[in-house]
Amino acid sequence: MRKLLINLILIIGLIAALAACGPKQPANHLDAIKAAGVIKVGTSADYPPFEYIDQAGNMAGFDVELMQELAKKLGVKVEWVDMPFDSLIAAVQEGKIDASIAAFNYTEERDEKIDFTVPYFSNEDAFLVTEGFADTITGPEDLAKYTVGVQSGTTQDDWITENLVDTGKLPESNFFRYDRADQAALDIKNGRIQVWMADLFPAQALADKLGGLKIVYQGMISSGPMNIIIPNGDTALAEALNKAIEQLQKDGFIDQLAVKHIGAQ
């Protein structure tokens, strides 16, 4: 019996020693990403010039190149996950993706669900219409006179909902939400809606691509600084990405991306 007890103690000790020598568990999310060698990033690839699928079928755009460069700074590669824009925040929350870059603007409501990196670029809002549109739009409140489209889940969606629909200025029957930005642009061309409110540069890119469209108003309404979104409280990942973004800004890399993809000087 005594011998059996000694052998049992030795076996338990051996198991504990082997466990101690086993793979070390990552201390945080950033360490887990580095251990895997991959950061899984979500986007909605329907928003040129920030994110889109090029003619070769590859992910391309300002945000895409920026994220790939940031991943290099972290010592990992990017695994892209393309999904509807209004699914991205939930995907970050649920751990389906590690982060998301998709021309996100900060809002207090979003900040309750996820965290933001430091801004990497800034944008304005724009109203896109057909070239035959003869009216004059002098401010955002003028949208109440038209049938209007937005991409679902965007800050433009929030602004119109809160300021025009909820206040009764814009009938809900005249307000249309789209999963994809290009669907909205096509509906303008086809006369299903009169105005699409979106970020300036994607609106201009789709106008150039589709033809027959123009921007009649631009300004800072719902848009502004753009950030990458990450899980709430993910301090290590935030610090690493913030440091990398600030370095790329200092080096002029982000300005070069703006010139390449947007023509901004």
Are 53 and 45 a contacting pair, CB within 8 Å?
yes
pLDDT for 11 beyond 80:
no
Helix (H) / strand (E) element for 150: namely: strand 148-151
pLDDT for 193 beyond 70:
yes
- Report residue 224's pLDDT band, with 50, 70 and 90 as the boundaries: confident
pLDDT at position 26 is 80
Per-position DSSP letters for 119-162, written without gaps between them: --EE--EEEEEETT------SGGGGGGS-EEEETTSHHHHHHII
pLDDT at position 57 is 94
* Dihedral pair phi/psi, residue 125, rounded to 5°: -90, 160
pLDDT tens-place string over residues 33-77: 999 999 999 999 999 999 999 999 999 999 999 999 999 999 999
What angle do helix axes 235-251 and 253-261 make, rounded to 10 degrees? Answer: 70
Q: Identify the structural domains of the chain with CATH numbers, from first to last.
A: 29-122+225-261 (3.40.190.10), 125-219 (3.40.190.10)
Instruction: Of 205-214, 221-230, 235-244, give the range with the top mean pLDDT.
Output: 235-244
What's the start-to-end Cα distance of the chain, in Å? Answer: 83
Residue with tokens 């699914």: 87
- Report residue 109's pLDDT band, with 50, 70 and 90 as the boundaries: very high
